[in-house]
Amino acid sequence: MEKAINRQKVLLHHLNPSSSNVDLSSSSSIFASVCLAGDSAAYQRTGVFGDDVVIVAAYRTAICKAKRGGFKDTPADDLLAPVLKAVVEKTNLNPSEVGDIVVGSVLAPGALRATECRMAAFYAGFPETVPVRTVNRQCSSGLQAVADVAASIRAGFYEIGIGAGLESMSTNAMGWDGDVNPKVKQFEQARNCLLPMGVTSENVAQRFGVSRKEQDQAAVESHRRAAAATAAGKFKDEIIPVSTKIVDPKTGDETPVTISVDDGIRPNASVADLGKLKPVFKKDGSTTAGNSSQVSDGAGAVLLMKRSTAMQKGLPILGVFRSFSAVGVDPAIMGVGPAAAIPVAVKAAGLELDDIDLFEINEAFASQFVYCRNKLGLDAEKINVNGGAMALGHPLGATGARCTATLLHEMKRRGKDCRFGVISMCIGTGMGAAAVFERGDGVDELSNARKVATNNLLSKDAR
């Protein structure tokens, strides 16, 4: 072990641009660390080399109630175009420099949505030379898009890319078209992939003892925090106003509107009121419309690039992409996904759960949200500080991009008191995804190494 640490010291010595002046024995130096997650954690190069993948802009539309809210008559491509346009206009980036646009989306037919996204890029001013593709990992699709772009930048495929998310649940309803392979009857887990999400919520509540009261309390707190954040203007930095129309269903009359505020928040929600709602998926169950995520419309976009590219362009760095994980869990209790994915992503970043200052955990259902929070022993004051999907809504493919914008802007507001943040969500058919971000101006010289004494590392290894 001692030899390994010495080898790391030598490597760090060579990587440091001013290595001839570095005193590796100094207590203020960053020591070589035990690798907790493979080479990427122990051997991350210093920031001056520009190897980091950074986020320089992250924006979203308002999130609106499907079929009843501000975007009920807005085509999906008209939702995506404004946020794609915003990330380049607000950074003064030449759109032709973007190497790829990856858009997470879930419900629309694949070929149709891919075409709509390509059309949206043209609306937003991107030239024909910039490619577009879609990705679908259900509720994590927006985060998967961001991770795919980060991976491509890290692999050297291009230096600048956009990870985005889009969902119009007004246009594309949840449902299954076509026949199911009868072979599914022979495989319980495959059969459980077809369970309604609400049934999996009931399974989590029953199996892990999450009470109706706990679920309703979590929902009320989500609405309270979202209402407070809205009143304080916290979302103004991340929301791009969208000019669209509202169509009167009776007369067909169109009214021009500009949507810039989330419209699903209920500031006066109470446990007493939610307690009156009947269970939706099970007669004696606990999952209701009030303690589940809202069916919503929305979009978001995240602009990523190499650190060196951002520095050359003089762009402020909003955040640093540190790690990503996607894991599988039992489809019958798919909501436990974050409890499985978060530790993997945190370890891959060379960190521990206690190092994370903020969490954005998608509130698909209160049952699974409460379970994941309790299972990981997380401080409730660190999670969804500005509300979550039970209040804001859950436009499936857009949620990951929405959470990225919300997390990074909140970390920026908190400054030095907030260095690391995590985004996570459960995924239909039994998966979980999570990603770790670092605040843009909070990066150590060696970003994934801890300032700890070498003998502590040796004693830890000995244990």
Three-state SS for the chain is: CHHHHHHHHHHHHHHCCCHHHCCCCCCCCCCCCCCCCCHHHHCCCCHHHCCCEEEEEEEECCCEECCCCCCCCCCHHHHHHHHHHHHHHCCCCCHHHCCEEEEECCCCCHHHHHHHHHHHHHHCCCCCCCCEEEECCHHHHHHHHHHHHHHHHHHCCCCEEEEEEEEECCCCCCCCCCCCCHHHHHCHHHHHCCCCHHHHHHHHHHHHCCCHHHHHHHHHHHHHHHHHHHHCCCCCCCECCEEEEEECCCCCCEEEEEECCCCCCCCCCCHHHHCCCCCCCCCCCCCCCCCECCCEEEEEEEEEEEHHHHHHHCCCCCEEEEEEEEEECCHHHHHHHHHHHHHHHHHHCCCCHHHCCEEEECCCEHHHHHHHHHHHCCCHHHECCCCCHHHHCCCHHHHHHHHHHHHHHHHHHHHHHCCEEEEEEEECCCEEEEEEEEECCCCCCCCCCCCCCHHHHHHHHHC
CA dist., res. 109 & res. 116, Å (int) = 11
What range does the domain containing 44 cover? Answer: 32-172+192-437
The model's confidence at residue 318, banded by pLDDT at 50, 70 and 90, is very high
Q: Is a pLDDT exceeding 60 seen at residue 117?
A: yes
CB atoms within 10 A of CB 450: 17
Domain-located, residue 93: yes
CATH code of the domain containing 339 = 3.40.47.10
Q: pLDDT for 167-213, tens place per residue?
A: 999 999 887 777 899 999 999 999 999 999 999 999 999 999 999 99
Across the range 66-72, mean pLDDT stands at 97
| pLDDT tens per residue, range 75-89 | 999 999 999 999 999
Closest CA to 392 of 304, 199, 262, 197: 262
For 386-434, write each residue's pLDDT tens digit.
Answer: 999 999 999 999 999 999 999 999 999 999 989 999 999 999 999 999 9
Residue 337 lies in a domain: yes
Residue 185 inside a domain? The answer is: no
Residue labelled with tokens 């970003």: 447
Q: Is 449 a domain residue? A: no
Residue 255 in any domain: the answer is yes
* Residue 442 counted as domain residue: no
Classify burial at 374, counting beta carbons within 10 Å of its beta carbon; exposed 0-12, middle 13-18, buried 19 or more.
Answer: middle
Q: Is residue 292 part of a domain?
A: yes
- Could you tell me the pLDDT band of residue 20, with boundaries at 50, 70 and 90? very low
Q: How many domains does the chain have?
A: 1
280 confidence band (pLDDT: 50, 70, 90) = very high
Residues recognised as catalytic: 139, 394, 426
Q: What percent of the chain has pLDDT over 90?
A: 82
Residue 43: the pLDDT is 35
Q: Is the pLDDT of residue 15 over 90?
A: no
In a domain, 4, yes or no: no
The residue-averaged pLDDT of 22-40 equals: 37
